[in-house]
Structures are given as C-alpha cells and as structure tokens.
Chains A and B, each alone.
Chain A
Amino acid sequence: MTDKEQNIKSNEERKSVKGILFRLCGYVFKHWYLFIPAVLLTLLANQLSLLGPKYSGQAIDAITLATGVDFDSVSGNVIKMLICYVLSAIMSYLLAVIMMYMSQKIVYTMRKQVFEKLTTLPIGYFDNHPTGDIISHISYDIDTINSTLSHDLVQVMTSLYTVLGSLIFMWNISKPMILIFVITVPAAILFTRYRSKKVKPLFKLRAKKLGELNGYAEEMLSGCRTIQAYERENEIGGRFDTRNEDAMDAYYNADYYGATLGPSVNFINNLSISLVMILGGILYMLSQSGAVKVGGMFFITLGGIAQFVQYSRKFAGPINEFANILHEFQSAFSAADRVFKILDENPEKEDIEGAVDLKLTKGCVEFSDVVFGYTPTKRILKGISMVADPGKTIAIVGPTGAGKTTIISLLMRFYDPDSGVITIDGDDASCFTRKSLRSAYTMVLQDTWLFYGTIYDNIAYGREGASEEEVILAAKAAKIHNFIESLPDGYNTVISDDGINISKGQKQLITIARAMISDSPMLILDEATSNVDSRTEIQIQEAMNELMRGRTCFIIAHRLSTIQNCDKIIVLQNGVITEFGTHDELMSKGGFYSTLYNSQFS
C-alpha cells in the first residue's frame, strides 16, 4: 500500500461516525464522576415530571366522582404533584449545572490539547493552513461540540426516557388511543426528514455566501484609507451591496423554506390531540353511558383523557425534535472530526534517540550538498555546500525565491534536508536536541512579531528570566530606549493590534532589542533592517556590530550596503550557489553580484 492509500484509509477510519463517537465518549467518560450523577438525575427528574400528570389525572377523577368530591384524595394528589414538580425543578437545575461543568471541562481540555498540539507541529503546517481556519477550529468547532455535549446529550437522554415513559403511561390509560400515534409519529418523522433534506443545501449556500461577504468586508476595510484617498466609498459600497444582497437572499431562501418546519411539526402535534379528542370523546361517551365495562380496554375516565392529552404532548415533543437533534449531532461530529484531525497531525519529528544538547565550542556551521524541497516534486535547494567559519559573518544574497529563507529554516531545523548534511562544529545537526540547537541561534526576522503585552514583556521575551537592567540595556543598544521613555507609559506601554503609537520601524527595533537580550552564540538576520531607514540603520549598525562580534552570523539582506563588510558573500540563484567570496572578490569577478552592484550607479 502506498503512503497515499494509507492516508485515505486512516482518514476514513477517523471519519467514521463510530470512531468519532468513541473518541468523544472518551472525553465524556473521563468525567464519569459528573456524567453518572447526570444520568441518574436525568432519569429521576424525568420520572418525577412524568408522575405529575398521573397525579393530576387522579385528582381530577377524585373531583368527578359520582359520589361528590373526595377532598382527601384531591389534597393527597395535589401534595404529591407539588413535591414532584419542586423536586423535578431542583434536579433539572442541578443537571444543567453538572452538564455545564462537564462540558466546560471537556472544552477546556480540548482547547488546551489543540493549542499545545499546534505548538508542536512543524512550521510547514502553518504555511499550508490559513490562520483563520485554525482559529475557527479552536473556537467555533469546539463551541459546537460544547453545545452538543452540554445540551443535546441531556436532551437525548431526556427524550428517550420521556418517550418511553409516556408511552407506558398512555398504554396503561388507554390502549386503543395509542393507535393514533401509529399514524402521526411516522408522518412527523417523514416530514421533518424530507424537509431537512431539502433545506440543508440552502443553509450550506447561506453559510458560503455569508463567508464571501465577510471576506469582502474584511479585505475592503483593510484598504479604507486608500478608498478615502480616492473618494471611492460609494463605488466600493455599491459593490459591497451586490454581495450583501446575494448573501441576504441566500439567507432569506433558507429561512423561507425553514419557516415551514416549526409550524408543521406543531400542526402534527395538534392533529394528534384532535384525534385523541375524537377517539377519546367517543370512548368517554361510551364509558359514561355504560356501553363499555368499567376497567375494560375501552373504558376511560375524564381524568384519563386529561392525562392522556398531557402525556401525548410530552410524547410527541421529543419525536418531533428528533430531526433537529440529529442535525445538531451531525454538525458536532463534523466539528469533532476537524478538531481530531489537528490532534492527529504528525508533530515535528522527535529528536533522534540519544540526541544530546548542543554545546557550542567554536560555532562552525557547514552545509554539504544539502538538497531540500517543501514538496517532493519541487526542489528549492539543489545541492548547497558552504562553510560558515566561527565568528565570521556570512551574507546570502539573491533574487526572491532563490531559497534564502529556506536556508534559515534548515539552520533552525524547522525542516530537515532531504539529502546532504548540515554539521555544527563537525557534528551532524540532527544529533542535537532541537531545543538546544535553536537556542544557539538568535533570529531577527523580516516580519516583526510582537504580542499583545507591554513593550517590556516583548523585549524580555528574548530570554527567560531576563532582568530589568538587561531589558533596558538591550533597548539602549537597539537605539529604542529614548523612544520608549518618551511614551506616556514608558516600558509599560501596551502594544496592541493597530497601535498607531508605534511605527513599523520602531516595532522592528523592539524585535532587535529582543534579539540583543538573548545570549546566543550565533545570529540570523533576515532582512532585519528593511523597515528601518538608512539613518536609523547606521545608528543601530554599531550596536549590531557589537552583537555580531565573536558570533557566527548569517545575514540575508536585499540591501547591498548592509553586507559589503561581510566576511563572505554567497550569491544564491535558483537553489544553487553561483558565486561566493568577499565583496572585493565578487566585484572583480564581474558576475551577477557586480552587475547588481553597479546598476545602482547607472
């Protein structure tokens, strides 16, 4: 069997309703100490609420006695009813609370598992899965599972019990009248099934259209300043309206057909009661006139009819809800499927057995004939060999897509090479634990990444346990200290999503300060200064030089001025090293590099 076939098979296994159910049950049973009381409470609460109509029927019969009202029996039954209802109310509240606790515990665990799983996944996963999708799994999908667990699960248990219970009670009251449900119940089930089949695609379309609308709104809002600068609000608004109309029409269509469901089900309920009245009326009439024997199968009292009507309402309710609940369960299953899919993703490969912590002695990194591609069909690096000497600076230049960033990913072991070896101080990099290897590098990336938190926290993030002094020192070295101090809240300024208080360049400087604080022997700069203008760049260059001193340093930069002084420059084109040497060597060679360099003076 090929890998692919195997994949499909395991997919199918996972997808099978049974498998998902089994796994979900695992979560539920983990909290058996909540679940078992919940089941017991469900049974009890339902039994009590089923007893209510029975006592009320008996009370009515006690009122209608030919001999006059039997007050003792009435008051007895009234008290019993009261007790049943009060207890039932208390129990159903307890039940709701217990189920909520249980489902919240499960949801908490699931979110935690998904989140922690995400942090173990290889980088490639995040390149292939849009952030929005992952977020919807961890929020909406888990919410869907939650509502099914906390609400629908109880409802199913309750329904089953109520249906069976009322059936038994009705059987005891009058067997012939049960025949009515032989007609109405299948009618209700067939109708709801037929309806939901018809309505389902409409709801799907509705979701799709709404998604499109949201996407359009999101995109246009991101350009609202530009739209204003060209005064295009009405034009863009008009285009939005077309999509808005589309989405709302889809919405209306789904509603239009969906609107029949509730009233129709209600009609079938009322129909049952009408039929009960016709049949019950006739039987009651016969019983009153003495045409049927007291205690016989066709005998019925007024209280009996009252009970029967009440039970038939109880009985029909869950059956009609059946289609809805089935639908809820289906969506919960597909949500669970998506969540489990994340949990089943292959994590980053384990460190090999016997992996040791990297203890850097020199800091010499060597690539020998490294081949790599993100997919097997498309090679990005086609046999890279190079040496980064200890304490020296190596620059990698080349056009976009040449594979510069990929080299960094391999250095950090976000990926491992398909063939060839990367060695550190002579040892194969895969022999070291990833954690120790990664902490040997400090990395400043093109995309500044800061989280919601204070500037202080963002800088201190660079190394666990960094002291306040170190943070300030790092900020000073990155030439951002003065700016931070000028903010009203200083280092405690919170960096929020769209803070206008901090420019892109300043954010970049903060990440540089973060890099300064982490005390690693090797340094990776990926266009680290591309958002900083030349003058600021000069200012931080000094600090950078300080940081780079004695460290093996990899620089990816598009700006030639930043790399002129590097010890070695490597020109990468289409995954192959085409030139290497110092600036002067490359200039005298007259290749790609020198053409590029000279073009700026033309």
Chain B
Amino acid sequence: MGLFKKYLKPFFGRMAIGFAIKVAGTLAELMLPYILTHILKKVVLNENIYEIILWGGIMIFFSAMACVCNIVANRMAAKVSKNFAQSVRQDLFIKTLRLSAVQTDDFTIPSLESRITTDTYNVHHFTNMMQRLGVRAPIMLIGGLAITLFMDAYLSLAMIALLPFIFVTVFFISRKGVPLYAKVQKSVDGMIRVVREDLQGIRVIKALSRTDYEHKRYDRVNKNLIRDEIHAGMIMGTVNPIMTLLMNVGIVAVIALSASRVSKNLSDPETVIAFMQYFTLISMAMMSVTRMFVMYTKSAASAGRISEILQCEDPISVKSKEQYPDISTDAHIMFDNVSFSYKGKKNNLSNISFSVKKGGSVGIIGATGSGKSTIVKLLLRFYDTDSGNIYINGENIRTIDKPRLYKMFGSCQQNDFLYADTIEENIKFGRDVSFEQVVKAARIAQADDFINAFPEGYNHMLSPHGTNISGGQKQRVLMSRALAARPDILILDDSSSALDYRTDAMLRIALAENLEDMTLVTIAQRVSSVKDSDVIIVIDEGEIIGAGTHDYLLEYCQPYKEISDSQMGGAFID
C-alpha cells in the first residue's frame, strides 16, 4: 500500500477538501431520518399543515445538499485518481524501459505490459471508488451510530452489538477472498496462453492433425478456470446475504427491545422508525464496503505488482573510478578476460579477450548459440560481466554514465525494433538528428533508393514492427538509424543477413568509405560479412577458438575454413 501513499501524497490537500465535502453530503443525508422522526413526533401534534410542509421542505433541502455535495466530491475524486494513475503509469513506463536485461527477462515482456495496462487500471479504479464509497461508508456508520446514540443510547446498543459481527465478516471474507481471486487471475492467464499459442500455431496443429489433443489441452485450462471461479464465488457470495441478515437482525432487535421501553415510557415508536431508517442506510453503506474489498483484493495484488517494478534496483549502476580504475591503452574497445553466464550455471562466455583500435574493425563469427550476440550485449552493458573487464578508451564501461556510454554506440541488432511511425522518425528515433543526416545515413545503408520509391518517401508510415516492408528493407532502415548520429562505435549484429549479396557488398563499400574513425563491430553468420575486418574472432561454445585476419584463419583455423567453404553459393533470394 506504500504505492498509494507515495503517489497520493501530492493530492492530500485536495483529497481533504473532497473528504470534507463528502462528509457534509453524507451528514446531510443522515439528517433525513432524524427530521422524519421529528415530524412524526412533534410537528404532527401541532396540527399545522404548513409546518409539516416546511419540515418536508427542509428534508428536500438536505436531500438536494447531499446530492450536490456528492457530485462535487465525486468529481474531485475523479480528478485526484486521474492524476494519481497518470503519474503512476508514467513512472512505471519509464522504469520499465530502464529495467536491465536480466530483469526484463525475469519479468517477461507480457507481464510487464499487463502491469502498465491492467494493473494500473485496477489501482486507478480503486482509488476512485475508495474516495467515493470508502469515505461514505464509515461516515454513514459513525454518523448513524452517533445520531442513534443521541436519540436512544439503550436501543443503539443493538447496533453496537452487531458491529463485531460485521467486522469479523468483512475481515474473514476478504482474508479468504484475496488469494482466491489471485488464483482466478492465474487461471485466466493460463487459459489465454493456450488460445494464443494455438492461434499462432494453427498451421502446425492442422498439419499434424492434433486438434483433438488441443481440445483436451484447452479443456483442462477451461475446467481449471471455472473451478477457481466457483471457489472464489462461493466465498464472495456469502457477503451480501450475511450483511443483509445482520442488519435485519438489528432492526428486529430494536423493535423487540423498544416494546418494553415504550411501555415504560422510556422511548417512543417514532424513534424506532428512525432507527429502522438508520439501519437501512448503514447496511447499504456496509454492503458497499464489501464491494470495496473485492476491489481491494484486485488492486492490492495490482499495486504489489506495480511496486515490484518501481522498487527494482538497477543492478547496472554506474560504479566509481576507484573501484574500477582506468587503464592506459591505445585500444578503443578492449575485452580483458571476460566471462559471463546468463543463469549462473554454465558459462555462456569464457575468458574472452580482444581489442580493436580506433577506426578499426572486428568481426565475430560462430555457430548459433555460441555466444556471439552475448559479446555485444556485454559491450552495450545490458548485462555486467561475471569476471573480467571491458574498456572503452581505457575507461571501464562500468564507470561510464549511461547517456555518455550510449552516445558512443550505433547498434543494429538481430530482429531489431521498428515502430508505427514514419521512416524518417524511425531513423531519427527521437534524437536530435537533422533530415540531412538521416538521408546521408540512409544512402550509406543503401536505403535511400527504396525509401524514395515510396510515394511519401521518408514520410512513409511503417506499420507496427515494420511489417509492411521486407526483411531486407527493415535491416537497411535499422542500419540507417545506427549510422544517423555518427556514433564512435558501430555494432552490426547479424544485420545484413536478409540482404542479397550485391546490396551487402555495396553496403560494405559505402561503410568503408564513410567510416573514417568509426570503429566497427560486426557479428555475422556469413564469412563475406566479416572477411574484411582487421581481426576476426571465431567463437565456439563461448570460447575463442581462432582470431586473426581472413587469410590467416583460412590457413590455421579449421572450423573457420569449414564455414567459409560451406558458404560457397550461399546466396539469398530476396
């Protein structure tokens, strides 16, 4: 619940005003039964019709006041909760973007998504209803109790005697209900996952004629879901009957108690009527409390899930130079005996050392899963090394603050990210890059021609994930993005695999002409993509099994020669 406290704090003043207005409205409503009793008890005896109409008018006035106060308070509550939810969601989104790769992997993207959408929606809804119903119910309870105590303390004991039962009911049910609803949510997720999988794999399922199997698989999750829903419903369904019963028992008790008191002239039947009214008002208010608890169960879980993200500490923080001192080297990039493992079990990279001078180039080649891309991820500090260090210009990358670090790189990765916006914007990517720079980058990346072929040119809209352009075109747009801000280090991770050989060759020539002092890191499966690098590193199972120039490796590195030979005639058609 720390989440609510933290984010609602700026609105405490406003909430207090809203609260006061709400209280005024609720009190006005509580006056109604009192006036009602007054009319029956006193006014009627005066036998004056105008007086009755006057007091009736007062009732209408209080009704109207309650209405206006409630509307104003509800609107204020809506405003507060809107601002609250907006800032929670904003912080959550930014924080999510900043999560380290390890954290993103742990949480998984779909789960992070639902925290920004559904969970934030739940806490929003809750804060709104809390201010509306949550205030009204206790005031009704306390105010109603106070008035009944004032009218007839003895009779109101009936009400007070019920309170413990009410609280126990609310407490017990919400205690039971919270975990049950959490379970329902889990089952819903499980059910949806099967549907999503099957929709994506429908061709395979049909090809293998496995629909019966899938029906059974779905039936299992479907059954789980209704079982959990029934469990939760059985518990939550007790709320209304129990609360109504308690209130009605209270009314019965008041009538029973009042009989002897009236006969002793200690009370009067009009008071009993007022009591019945108060009991009804209070019971309706308490009923809404149970609704609040259902909401609470949902939103507490949601708030927990949101806080979990907001409280994540960034393990990839900037470290001090004392801890990780600079070294003196003329290498631009230097890996010094780096080892790393994703899960801490088996090393994904072991004892990787290499360096490249400013303006130089390094090519990394190896089989699927050999750890090629991991090298880039470490260089970009998505993960920290387990042992060994990475230096840029002699500075340990752990000591370089993020804005400075990432300004150095232009990176173009496997399956990289394009989004629904113009091509120009996708290349600029929100950076302060001029249109001239965009075009220049696109020319180098061999993208200018096909972009200009669109009627809208650089204003051509991409669909989400860039699905409306081909794989090769995507890679060239991504390359343009990497080049646009003229980075110190250009990283190409399998970023020309969809290009045909001719375009690939032209790209390489254009890069060489424009590179000047840009340092190039290329990761590829094709020998032709790396063969001109100053140094080529051959990776196998996380270890360097060969390093040197193309000619050197052909002669002395058997696996490299094998790859090279196999790619004779390995052209792509696209």
Contact = CB atoms under 8 A, between A and B. Distances in A.
Q: Do A and B bind each other?
A: yes
A209 B98 CA distance: 25
Contacts of A239: 430
A536 B367 contact: yes
A225 interface: yes
Interface string B61-100: 0111011101100110111001101100110011011110
Contacts of A77: 255
A281 B39 contact: yes
Given A135-B196, A439-B208, A559-B571, A52 B248 contact: yes
Contacts of B269: 60, 63-64, 302-303
Contacts of B124: 251
A602 B502 contact: yes
B172 interface: no
Contacts of B16: none
Interface string B204-239: 111111110111001100110010011001100110
Contacts of B35: 277
Given A56-B255, A222-B465, A270-B29, A256 B262 contact: no
Contacts of A597: 569, 571
A324 to B, nearest CB: 14
Given A222-B465, A306-B276, A71 B63 contact: no
Question: Which of A64, A120, A285 has the most CB atoms of chain B within a 10 A radius of its CB?
Answer: A285
A443 interface: yes
Interface in B373-390: 380, 382
Given A248-B86, A414-B203, A309 B569 contact: no
Contact of B204 (A126, A399, A445): A445
B249 interface: yes
B368 A505 contact: yes
Contacts of A288: 44
Contact of B78 (A92, A233, A259): A259
A219 B419 contact: yes
B383 to A, nearest CB: 10
Contacts of A210: 117, 121
Contacts of B260: 69, 71
B513 interface: no
Contacts of A438: 206-209
B259 interface: yes
Given A115-B195, A224-B97, A560 B85 contact: no
Contact of B569 (A266, A270, A561): A561
Contacts of A510: none
Nearest to B503: A599
Contact of A78 (B39, B195, B255, B403): B255
A232 B430 CA distance: 7
A449 B196 CA distance: 12
Interface string B234-274: 10011011101100110110011011101100000110110
B468 interface: no
A263 B500 contact: no
A269 to B, nearest CB: 8
Interface string A339-383: 000000000000000000000000000000000000000000000
A104 B229 CA distance: 8
Contact of A400 (B63, B263, B470): B470
B417 A100 contact: no
Contacts of A240: 90, 93
B56 interface: yes
B20 interface: no
Given A93-B238, A119-B211, A282 B406 contact: no
Contacts of B66: 263, 266-267, 270
B52 A282 contact: yes
Contacts of A10: none
B242 to A, nearest CB: 7
Contacts of A63: 255, 258-259, 262-263, 269, 272
B566 A439 contact: no
Nearest to B209: A435
Interface stretch (B140-148, B157-165, B408-416, B444-452): B408-416
Nearest to B63: A270
Contacts of B128: 255
A74 to B, nearest CB: 4
B53 interface: yes
A496 B208 contact: no
Interface string B32-68: 1001100110011001010011011001101110111
Given A233-B98, A559-B570, A449 B39 contact: no
Contacts of B464: 215, 219
A338 interface: no
A229 interface: yes
A90 B53 CA distance: 42
B153 interface: no
A229 B226 contact: no
Contact of B237 (A90, A97, A445, A505): A97
A281 B56 contact: yes
Interface in B107-148: 108-110, 112-113, 116-117, 121, 124, 128
B419 A535 contact: no
B193 interface: yes
Given A255-B78, A273-B36, A302 B94 contact: no
Contacts of A89: 241-242, 244-245, 248
A256 B78 contact: yes
Question: Which of B211, B233, B416, B417 has the most CB atoms of chain A within a 10 A radius of its CB?
Answer: B417
Interface stretch (B2-10, B290-298, B339-347): B339-347
A516 to B, nearest CB: 13
Given A224-B96, A449-B200, A534 B56 contact: no
Contacts of B431: 230, 232, 235
Question: Which of B66, B188, B248, B403 has the most CB atoms of chain A within a 10 A radius of its CB?
Answer: B248
Interface string A51-83: 010001001101110001101001101100110
A244 B86 contact: yes
Nearest to A532: B368
A116 interface: yes
Nearest to A129: B199
Contacts of A561: 566-571
A138 B106 CA distance: 28
Contacts of B453: none
Question: Which of A399, A486, A558 has the most CB atoms of chain B within a 10 A radius of its CB?
Answer: A558
B104 interface: yes
A271 B237 contact: no
A176 to B, nearest CB: 15
Interface in A517-553: 518, 531-538
B295 to A, nearest CB: 15
B252 A302 contact: no
B416 A226 contact: yes
Nearest to B411: A229
B325 interface: no
B48 to A, nearest CB: 8
Interface string A150-176: 100000000000000000000000000
B516 interface: no
B74 A263 contact: yes
B192 A255 contact: no
Given A56-B255, A63-B269, A223 B90 contact: no
Question: Which of B89, B110, B206, B403 has the most CB atoms of chain A within a 10 A radius of its CB?
Answer: B206
A220 B573 contact: no
Contact of A560 (B226, B229, B571): B571
A111 interface: yes
10 contacts: A63-B272, A69-B263, A82-B249, A108-B226, A119-B206, A239-B430, A248-B82, A439-B209, A531-B368, A535-B562
Given A100-B230, A221-B112, 15 more contacts: A100-B233, A221-B96, A221-B113, A226-B417, A231-B406, A244-B89, A248-B83, A252-B79, A266-B67, A270-B67, A274-B63, A306-B272, A449-B197, A501-B343, A560-B573
- Closest CB pairs A-B (n = 4): A223-B417, A505-B368, A278-B56, A270-B63
